[in-house]
């Protein structure tokens, strides 16, 4: 389980089919084999980890790490992972520990589909993003509700059919990959868990 609060920006260092190597500033000693790390919002299992002095650890001594993950064909087809290339920057989040603060919202790391960036407009020092989502996912997106986009917990500003907008503040822009986004990019979308179950319950009431 995750919260949608990004804790590091990683980088794809290598890939072979469904296996990816990802560099991060995480202490390699803190990553256990089998641990879950959300990579651009996708919950992936660590299969190996090595120390890497080239992967900087902001504000800490010691090397960063390169960890490997294996990705199924299903995940490659349903997410943006099929388009990952070496050098791509990724939003990373470690799995939530029982003592951690739930600063965003409940995120599972199970992607529902892809949202497409239609427009990016400046709004003071923030940026307003407009997205388009598949029709079958639009009903789960509500004004002032939460969504996870490339693993980032964001609040929906407005909804217009199968389009919706969010505002990304300066801190989030610089602490994540959102400063690099552009119109046409496809973003991993996880709808709010509560919205999904409410919609399912309403189906049984009809």
pLDDT at 181 over 90: yes
- Between 32 and 197, whose confidence is greater? 32
pLDDT at 130: 98
Given a cut of 70, is residue 57 above it in pLDDT? Answer: no
State the residue for tokens 């400046």: 122
pTM: 0.91
> Residue 73 has what pLDDT?
93
Q: What are the chain's domains?
A: 8-94 (2.40.30.20), 113-205 (2.40.30.20)
Q: Does residue 66 carry a pLDDT above 90?
A: yes
pLDDT-based confidence at 96, cuts 50/70/90?
confident
- Please tell me the predicted confidence (pLDDT) of residue 176: 97
């Amino acid at each position: 389980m995750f919260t949608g609060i990004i804790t590091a920006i990683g980088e794809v260092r290598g890939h072979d089919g469904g296996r990816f190597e990802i560099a991060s500033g995480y202490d390699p000693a803190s990553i256990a084999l089998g641990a879950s790390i959300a990579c651009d919002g996708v919950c992936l299992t660590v299969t190996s980890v090595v120390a890497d002095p080239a992967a900087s650890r902001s504000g800490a001594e010691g090397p960063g790490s390169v960890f490997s993950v294996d990705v199924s064909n299903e995940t490659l087809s349903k997410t943006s992972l099929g388009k990952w290339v070496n050098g791509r920057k990724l939003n990373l989040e470690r799995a939530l520990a029982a003592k951690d603060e739930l600063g965003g919202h409940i995120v599972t790391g199970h992607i529902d589909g892809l949202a497409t960036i239609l427009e990016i407009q400046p709004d003071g020092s923030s940026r307003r993003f407009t997205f388009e989502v598949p029709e079958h996912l639009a009903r789960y997106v509500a004004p002032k509700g939460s969504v996870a986009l490339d693993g980032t917990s964001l609040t929906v500003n407005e909804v217009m059919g199968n389009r919706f907008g969010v505002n990304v503040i300066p801190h989030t822009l610089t602490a994540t990959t959102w400063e690099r986004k552009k119109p046409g990019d496809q973003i991993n979308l996880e709808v709010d868990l509560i919205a999904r179950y409410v919609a399912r319950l309403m189906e049984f009431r009809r």
